[in-house]
Amino acid sequence: MPIDLEILRNQKDKNDCKYFFETGLYHATTLEKAVEVGFQKYFSIELYASFCEMAKEKFPEKTSSGEIMIINDDSANMKNYIGLVGNNKTLFWLDAHAGGPKGSNPFCNAKAKIPIEYELQAIKLCDRKDHVILVDDLRIMGKTKIEQIKKMILEINPLYKFSILENPSGVKDILCAVV
């Protein structure tokens, strides 16, 4: 599910984030909101080529200039792209999970149904240890998985503090980790 525009704006502003990095693009709804909020650069990794093409059509200038980079890959491979953020404080919106276009195999060739562990391992490779990490869809993860995610985030930096944010339907569904 996309994130609420004001929640995104608030997290970007109060944490002074320069870049936006998403996993799971889908119809680019949150990417569109991120552009409205105004980051310096945007990255989104999506398994399905058709969603990537749709996003390139939605943002022709920003994608051809490289301001928006749409990456057609499994976000389990995020470690191959994490260097793109450099030393810029980044807001990560981790939202890749089984889905895809109608009629497609929901698991495609993805390494995991929810690739969150791979994504957090990639973030751990960053020199900066104060990126904002938003993990969507807590409702589809069990308590054990959520605890495991928090543990992995604290292994990136033990100073991370957690809160739970609401999705646009008013459900407390987003884990927010900030330093």
Residue 20: CB minimum distance to ligand SAM, A = 11
- Round to whole Å and give the CA distance between 22 and 20: 7
Sorted by sequence, the CB contacts under 8 Å of residue 11 that are 6+ apart come out as 17, 91, 132, 134, 176, 178
Cα atoms in the 13 Å half-sphere on the side-chain side of 40: 11
Residue closer to ligand SAM, measured from CB, 72 or 179: 72
Tell me if 137 sits within 8 A of 173, measured CB to CB: yes
From the list 52, 74, 116, 141, which residue makes contact with ligand SAM (rule: CB under 6 A)?
74
- Give the x/- contact pattern for ligand SAM in 112-151, rule: CB under 6 A: ---x------------------------------------
Q: What is the dihedral of CA 129, 132, 136, 138, to 10 degrees?
A: 60
Query: Residue 165, interface with ligand SAM (CB under 6 A)?
Result: no
Helices (runs of H) and strands (runs of E) counted in the chain: 6, 7
From the list 11, 46, 52, 138, which residue makes contact with ligand SAM (rule: CB under 6 A)?
46
Query: Residue 110, interface with ligand SAM (CB under 6 A)?
Result: yes
Applying CB under 6 A, the residues found at the interface with ligand SAM are 2, 22-26, 29-30, 45-48, 51, 74-76, 95-100, 110, 115
